[in-house]
């Protein structure tokens, strides 16, 4: 009774629907016995983790699918306790260093009003050092195992702090005998060069619309219903190369209208409609009062765990759709600038709001036909 996206996830390299040349390469790598460190990168929903899982299966056999989650507790040098959830099988271990949590720490009073970093990003180094060493120092004990090494998968590798990445460098070379590392990231831009040079880079591109159609049809066939091409077309367009999203949407649509015929309205996720509301508010009125209302909404989105970049992107796209041709470029220009600043700074809301005010100012000025003289930085 899982959702379709999980039910029909390919389990072996042979089942994969697209990127066949990549599949072939992975297969020969797994067979070669000389498996390198790897870095999978590509957009969300392109199939990175699916491919990693398939490769592992190819390497170790069905045993890797027996997963369990284990909670580890670490002690930082400053005596704080950290919890880390580790997904592992007998042959591999998967960690998400950014998802380390404090346990039983008493936050200072100031944090109840504002928080600088919600996750304990700065401790990922400790996790990397401890876990990797632990695994690296022990050999594979199962004599029947196909490979002599274990695999460590590091999720969200692009969110690793510089310290943690530096901690990886030497370990990757030193313990090559016992361990291979597979990094999984959305983009390589935040990984330091030494890491990249130690890995085989594997780009998992988003599927083309053709490939997505095929995948959707496959799901439809297995679920025993007919997928009209128009519906398929609409879903593919809506999901923007994210196959996960496409299949989830397909299932939601199927629940809504079982025959999938006639004009379909794809229900947008709650956060997306909310972002659109924010965009509409910006265009409707430009005043300090309105900035405050917008900010309340932005806070709500942020606090409900929608990443700030996603908010900025969604709102900006919607605003650009609605405004006059002449200021579209400027709005996107500033959105890009504030997106960078968001990554550099600590408090997302400052930059989001600065952008909102900027857009309001731009809009108002163009409305009255006055150029903002200093819009170039």
Partner 1 sequence: MAGPRAPGSKAVPEPQCAEPLAGLAFVFSGELSSFSRDEAVDLAKRFGGRVTGQPSSRTSYVVLGDDAGPSKLAAIKKHNLRTLSEDEFLQLIATRNPGGGELDEKTRKKKEKEQDAIREGAREMEKREKAAMKEAKAGSVGSAKAVDTSTQLWTVRYAPQTLKEICGNKGQVEKLLLWLQDWPKSLKSGFSKPGKNGMNIFRAVMITGPPGIGKTTSAHLCAKLAGFTPIELNASDARSKKLVELVIDSHKPNQKTNAAGVEISDKSCLIMDEVDGMSAGDRGGVGALNQLIKKTKIPIICIANDRQAQKLKPLIATTYSLPFKKPDAAAVRSRILTVAYKEKMKIPANVVDQLVAGAQSDIRQVLNMLSTWKLSSSTMDFDESKELVKMNEKYAIMTPFNVTYKILGPYTFSPTSRETLGDKMELYFHDFSFVPLFIQAPENYLKTQPVKVRNLAGPEKDLKELELMDKAATSISDGDLVDGLIHGSVPRVVDLRSLICKVCRSEQHWSLMPLHAVLSTVRPASFIYGNCQQWLGQNSKQNKLSRQLNDVQVRMRLKVSGDKSEVRQSYIPALFPVIVKPLMDVGASAVDEVIDRMDDYYLSKEDWDTIVELGVDQNKDELVLKKIPAATKTALTRKYNSREHPIPFHKAQDLGKAPKKIAASEVPDLEEAFDVDEDVPEEVVEDDQGEDEDVSKDKLIKMPKANKGKPAAAKAKGKKG
Subset of residues 204 to 223 that bind partner 1, contact rule: CB under 8 A: none
Do residues 69 and 87 make contact, with C-beta atoms less than 8 angstroms apart?
A: yes
**Which one of 36, 121, 176, 214 is in contact with partner 1 (CB under 8 A)?**
121
Contact status: 115 vs partner 1 (CB under 8 A) = yes
Query: At closest approach, how far in Å is the CB of 34 from partner 1?
Result: 25
d(CA 16, CA 242): 16
Query: At closest approach, how far in Å is the CB of 28 from partner 1?
Result: 24
Query: At closest approach, how far in Å is the CB of 210 from partner 1?
Result: 22
d(CA 17, CA 98): 31
Contact status: 6 vs partner 1 (CB under 8 A) = yes
Nearer to partner 1, 261 or 346 (CB): 346
Helix (H, G, I), strand (E, B) or coil at 19: coil
Helix H, strand E, coil C: the string for 70-136 is EEEEEECCCCCEEEEEEEECCCEEEECHHHCEECCCCCCHHHHCCCCCCCCHHHHHHHHHHHHHHHH
Nearer to partner 1, 33 or 105 (CB): 105
**Which one of 11, 27, 80, 133 is in contact with partner 1 (CB under 8 A)?**
133
Contact status: 1 vs partner 1 (CB under 8 A) = yes
Nearer to partner 1, 233 or 366 (CB): 366
Nearer to partner 1, 1 or 263 (CB): 1
Contact status: 161 vs partner 1 (CB under 8 A) = yes
Kind and range of the H or E run holding 26: helix 20-32
Q: 9 to 28, contacts with partner 1 by CB under 8 A?
A: 9
Contact status: 231 vs partner 1 (CB under 8 A) = no
How many amino acids of this chain bind partner 1 (CB under 8 A)?
A: 115
Contact status: 336 vs partner 1 (CB under 8 A) = no
Contact status: 240 vs partner 1 (CB under 8 A) = no
Q: Which residues of 124-139 are buried (b: 16+ CB within 10 A; e: fewer)?
A: bbbbbbbbbeebbeee
- State the binding string over 257-286 for partner 1 (x if CB under 8 A, else -): ------------xxx-xx--x--------x
Could you tell me which stretch among 15-23, 25-33, 135-143, 229-237 binds partner 1 (CB under 8 A)?
Answer: 135-143
Nearer to partner 1, 101 or 205 (CB): 101
Could you tell me which stretch among 30-38, 167-175, 196-204, 306-314 binds partner 1 (CB under 8 A)?
Answer: 306-314
Nearer to partner 1, 81 or 221 (CB): 81
d(CA 11, CA 6): 10
Who contacts 140 (Cβ-Cβ below 8 Å, separation ≥6)? 91, 147, 148, 149, 150, 178
Could you tell me which stretch among 28-36, 137-145, 173-181, 212-220 binds partner 1 (CB under 8 A)?
Answer: 137-145
d(CA 26, CA 110): 50
10 Å CB burial of residue 41 (0-12, 13-18, 19+) is: buried
Who contacts 175 (Cβ-Cβ below 8 Å, separation ≥6)? 132, 136, 137
Eight-class DSSP state of 146: S
Do residues 42 and 203 make contact, with C-beta atoms less than 8 angstroms apart?
A: yes
Query: At closest approach, how far in Å is the CB of 163 from partner 1?
Result: 8
Q: 36 to 95, contacts with partner 1 by CB under 8 A?
A: 44-45, 48-50, 53, 67-75, 81, 83, 85, 87, 90
Quickly list DSSP for 267-335. Answer: PPPHHHHHHHHHHHHHHH--SHHHHHHHHHHHHHHHHTT--HHHHHHHHHHHHHHHS-HHHHHHHHHHH
Helices (H) and strands (E) in the chain, counts: 14, 8
Contact status: 113 vs partner 1 (CB under 8 A) = yes
Contact status: 148 vs partner 1 (CB under 8 A) = no
Contact status: 190 vs partner 1 (CB under 8 A) = yes
């Amino acid at each position: 009774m899982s959702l379709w996206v999980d039910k029909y996830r390919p389990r072996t390299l042979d089942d994969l629907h697209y990127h066949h040349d990549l599949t072939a390469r992975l297969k020969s790598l797994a067979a070669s016995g000389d498996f390198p460190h790897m870095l999978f990168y590509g957009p969300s929903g392109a199939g990175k983790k699916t491919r990693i899982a398939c490769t592992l299966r190819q390497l170790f056999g069905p045993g890797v699918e027996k997963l369990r989650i284990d909670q580890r507790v670490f002690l930082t040098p400053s005596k704080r306790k950290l919890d880390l959830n580790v997904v592992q099988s007998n042959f591999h271990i998967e960690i998400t260093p950014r998802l380390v949590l404090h346990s039983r720490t008493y936050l200072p009073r100031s944090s109840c009003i504002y928080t600088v970093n919600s996750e304990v990003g700065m401790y990922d180094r400790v996790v990397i050092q401890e876990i990797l060493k632990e695994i690296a120092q022990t050999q594979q004990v199962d004599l029947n195992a196909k490979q002599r090494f274990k695999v460590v998968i590091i999720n969200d590798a692009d969110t690793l702090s510089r310290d943690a990445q530096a901690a990886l460098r030497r370990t990757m070379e030193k313990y090559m005998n016992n361990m291979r590392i597979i990094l999984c990231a959305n983009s390589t831009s935040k990984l330091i060069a030494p890491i990249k040079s130690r890995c085989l880079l594997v780009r998992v591109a988003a599927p083309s619309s053709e490939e997505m159609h095929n995948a959707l049809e496959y799901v439809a066939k297995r679920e025993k219903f007919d997928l009209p091409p128009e519906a398929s077309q609409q879903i593919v367009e809506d999901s923007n190369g994210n196959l996960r999203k496409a299949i989830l949407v397909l299932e939601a649509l199927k629940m809504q209208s079982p025959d999938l015929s006639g004009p379909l309205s794809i229900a947008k996720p709650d956060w997306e409609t909310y972002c659109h509301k924010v965009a509409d508010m910006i265009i409707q009125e430009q005043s300090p009062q309105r900035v405050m209302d917008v900010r309340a909404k932005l806070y709500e989105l942020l606090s409900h765990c929608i990443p700030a970049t996603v908010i900025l992107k969604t709102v900006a796209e919607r605003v650009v759709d609605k405004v006059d041709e002449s200021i579209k470029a400027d709005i996107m220009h500033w959105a890009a600038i504030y997106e960078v600043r968001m990554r550099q700074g600590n408090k997302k809301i400052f930059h989001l709001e600065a952008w909102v005010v900027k857009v309001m100012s731009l809009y108002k000025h163009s409305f009255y036909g006055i150029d903002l003289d200093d819009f170039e930085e």
